[in-house]
Amino acid sequence: MKSINRIAAALALTLGLTFGAAAAQSAPISGEVKKIDESAGKITLKHGAAKSLGMDEPMTMVYRVKDPAWLKQVKVGDKVTFEAEEAASGYTVTKMEKAK
């Protein structure tokens, strides 16, 4: 009985994650690099409205980055596509790549 419950829970989790990824959190946002602060692990991005983050208007703001190595791969003025999530410590970029 216990193992069946565990399988059901795992299934529910998998489905939840799949739907979660398709919906709110992971809508890619287009932005432009305004400033890079490698020592602090932060990047300033100008971006359009990002409904998934509750940002209804374009803005310029500072984000932490999940992987500091990303800060070496872009420079001020680059156009990027990124995903972010709100954490206790502030907004964190969870995915970032140069826009083509």
Which residues bind to Cu ion, rule: CB under 5 A?
55, 59, 61
CB of 32 or CB of 55, closer to Cu ion: 55
CB of 9 or CB of 76, closer to Cu ion: 76
Give me the least distance between CB of 82 and Cu ion, in Å please.
Answer: 11
Spatial neighbors of 32 by CB under 8 A, at least 6 apart, are 45, 46, 47, 77, 78, 79, 80
Confirm if 60 and 45 have CB atoms less than 8 A apart: yes
Give me the least distance between CB of 39 and Cu ion, in Å please.
Answer: 22
Give me the least distance between CB of 2 and Cu ion, in Å please.
Answer: 45
Place of tokens 């990303």: 70
